[in-house]
Amino acid sequence: MHIVVCIKQVPDSAQIRVHPVTNTIMRQGVPTIINPYDLFALEAALALRDKHGGEVTVLCMGPPMAEDSLRKALTFGADRAVLLTDRFFAGSDTLATSYALAAAIAKIGETWGVPDVVFTGKQTIDGDTAQVGPGIAKRLDLRQLTYVSRITGIDQEQGEITVERRAEGGVQVLKTALPVLITMLEGTNEIRRGSLADALKAARAEVVTWNAAAAGITDMVKCGLRGSPTVVKKVFAPTARADKAQLVATQDRTAAQAAEALIGAILERQPGLEADLRRLSAGF
C-alpha cells in the first residue's frame, strides 16, 4: 500500500501579528510549524501503514525552508519526503495550489507507485478554506471522503475502505473503492512520538526536491499569481470585545437559588433570549 500525505508549513498562529498599515500578516520572526490539522492526517497514514504494510510519502509545497517540516514528518516515521518548491508558485491561491500538488502526486505515482490513499488535514490554520484537499481529488479524479473521524478498515483484496465521517447531526459510515482522498478531522488521534531510530534516519535522509518542471508541470499559467483568480483583499485582527464579564454572587445560596440568579442575569443582559426560548419550547 502506498499512502501520500500532503502537509503545509504554516506560521505559528499564536505568534502571528497583522501589520497596522498594510493589513497583511507579518511573517518575519514568526516561527513556523506543521499545520496542526495535517498531523492528524499523518498519524492516520502511519497507523494504516503499520497495520497493512506499505510506504508513506509526505509531500509539501512551499519555500526551501519548508524542508524543516518535512524532516519533522520523517522523525515521526514517514518513509519518504518530497518538497515541491519553485518561485513560480509564489502567491498561489487554493486553485493554483491544488493544481501543483495534484501534478506532484501524479509524478509521485509514476516514480514510486500510484497511491492508494491520499491524506490531507481538513484545512490549514493560515487559510481555513478547506478547499485544497477536495481540489486535489477533483483534479486527480479521486473519490473523496471529507471530515473523516475514523478509518474502520481497509479490504485490500476488494480495494475498498470504510470510514466514519462526522456530519451535522451524527456520524456517517461510508464505504468506497480505492484510490481515495481523505481529509482528516481534528481530535481524531494523537501524533506519535518518533523513535530515536526515526530521528537519526530523518537527519540523514534526502528530501527529494522538485521544481515545477521536475514535477511534470508544463502549464505555468495555472501556477502562482497568474493561476490564482482569488486575491486576499485584507487581513485584519478582530476587534477586542468591550463587554466585561459580570460577576454574579452565589455564596450562601442553594444550588436552585444560584441557578435562578445566573439565569436571571443572562436574561437581563439578553432581553430577547427568553422570548426565543419560549417560542422554541412551544414547538416541541
Residue-wise pLDDT for 258-272, tens only, equals: 888 888 888 888 888
Burial of 86 (0-12, 13-18, 19+ CB in 10 A): buried
Closest CA to 119 of 61, 48, 214, 33: 48
In the structure grid, which three cell numbers stand for residue 266, read together?
443572562
Q: pLDDT at position 140, please?
A: 96
Answer whether residue 43 shows pLDDT above 70.
yes
* Separation of alpha carbons 53 and 250, rounded Å: 59
End-to-end CA distance of the chain: 51
* Separation of alpha carbons 163 and 174, rounded Å: 5
Q: Which of 40-44, 128-132, 210-214, 273-277 has the lowest mean pLDDT?
A: 273-277
Question: What does pLDDT average to over the chain?
Answer: 89
Tell me whether strands 143-155 and 160-167 are parallel, antiparallel or unpaired: antiparallel
Q: What top-level class would CATH report for the domain 2-227? A: alpha beta
Strand, helix or coil at 149?
A: strand
In the structure grid, which three cell numbers stand for residue 112, read together?
514510486
Q: pLDDT at position 25, please?
A: 65
Q: pLDDT at position 216, please?
A: 92
Other beta carbons less than 10 A from residue 134's beta carbon: 18
Which range among 77-91, 234-248, 251-265 has the greatest average pLDDT?
77-91
* Separation of alpha carbons 47 and 189, rounded Å: 10
Q: pLDDT at position 71, please?
A: 95
Closest CA to 5 of 137, 118, 107: 118
Strand, helix or coil at 162?
A: strand
Percentage of the residues of the chain whose pLDDT score is greater than 90: 61
Mean pLDDT of 29-50: 92
**Residue 248 region, left (φ>0) first, then alpha (ψ -120 to 50), else beta?**
beta
For the chain, give every domain's residue range: 2-227, 243-284
Answer whether residue 247 shows pLDDT above 90.
no
